[in-house]
Structure 1
Amino acid sequence: MHKARLGFTNVVFHQQFEGPVGYFTLANDAIKLNDSEKFELGFGEQVELAAFPAVKIGRLAVHQDLHRKGVGAALMTLLLGDILNTAGLSAARLIVVDADNDDAVLRFYEKLGFETSLWAEEMARNHTKKRAKPLTIKMHRDVFKGL
């Protein structure tokens, strides 16, 4: 992925842990928003875009010995810092993730300010079988949320 410039992976180490504590992969993306999502971001009718620039979390993982110890949230803080520090290179107002459709995973992202993409949820409802549970849920977060 690095050579093709489709995504860049950051491996994170800590002096008090042998080996990597986790990693995350970031890529450029875009997401469509419905009218209420545009309004919540403060865009209203002033911004006419087919899709809004975003940074996609392609992968996020924490060493299994460090689960439920705040390392995932710390990686997200580091990740957000990377995104904000590159603002002069690339414009993106949103962070998106295709979260595994697992209650614990969804709660993790929700605690960090991510919301289910209403536009993607509507599209999935219209294009999937009624009984099929989606494997992933598209979620997004405003990079300015909580600043």
Structure 2
Amino acid sequence: MSVSLDDLEFVVLTADHLHYLPSFKCKNAELKGYLVENAFQDQQDRTSATRLVFYQGRLVGYFTLVTDVIKKKELDDRDGDPGFEYSTYPALKIARLATHQEFERQGIGRAMLLKIYSIWIGLTKHIGCRIITVDAKPTAVDFYKRFDFHEAIIDPRKLKDRETVPLYIDIHKELERLRTGAPLSDYDEARSP
């Protein structure tokens, strides 16, 4: 079964949603723990923003976003802008992204990425932001790579003790490449479900 993007409801986490959080089950205990124990407080402290994903009234996923930067030298030569004069690019970071274990492989993760792209487009109307980053769990790397995320170019010695893999996508270039005559405003969050 595949869940359609149109059948999903994306809502910003509020106190009214707290009773849904304990029912969320995923294979990664840290991701569930964050949602239940920290997501709302972090949002109250303005250190992150979490969106919940509902399908037929059931919590089936969530993602948390924060601001980030990525060093210009960590990008592949095909990404970024050759004339960019600063050492870092502004970025939007996917701090957490999880699907309820009963709804895995049904298109929820893809739908969440599309929603993140639409949020990014909205942000770029107000602030500079070119890249989307994520520190992916090793089990999630293939998922992100299917959507054209690349491994950041980082000295392997700095990565040896990390439990995550730093990935990024130059979303500006990706959307321009995928563009088939439709204006990017078609992806705008205000027009998305």
Matches within 5 A, 1:19-30: 19-30=58-69
Structure 1 regions of 5+ residues with no counterpart?
A: none
Aligned-pair CA distance for 1:33: 2.8
Residue of structure 2 in register with 1:106 after alignment: 141
Residue of structure 2 in register with 1:141 after alignment: 169
Shift in alpha-carbon separation, 1:140–1:36, aligned structure 2, 3 A = closer
Percent identity reads 29
Partner Cα distance (2:75, 2:95) in 1 = 26
- How many matched pairs? 134
Structure 2 regions of 5+ residues with no counterpart?
A: 1-41, 180-193
TM-align CA RMSD: 1.9
Matches within 5 A, 1:34-45: 34=73, 37=76, 39-44=77-82
Shift in alpha-carbon separation, 1:101–1:112, aligned structure 2, 3 A = same
Aligned-pair CA distance for 1:106: 0.9
Matches within 5 A, 1:8-23: 8-15=49-56, 18-23=57-62
Task: Select the residue among 101, 115, 127 that pairs with 1:90.
Answer: 127
TM-score, normalisation: structure 2: 0.64
Aligned-pair CA distance for 1:30: 0.1
Greater fraction of residues in helix: 2
TM-score, normalisation: structure 1: 0.82
- 1:83 aligns to what SS in structure 2? helix
- 2:141 aligns to what SS in structure 1? helix
Q: Does the 8 Å CA contact 1:93/1:142 hold for their aligned counterparts?
A: yes
Residue of structure 2 in register with 1:2 after alignment: 43
Moved over 4 A (4+): none
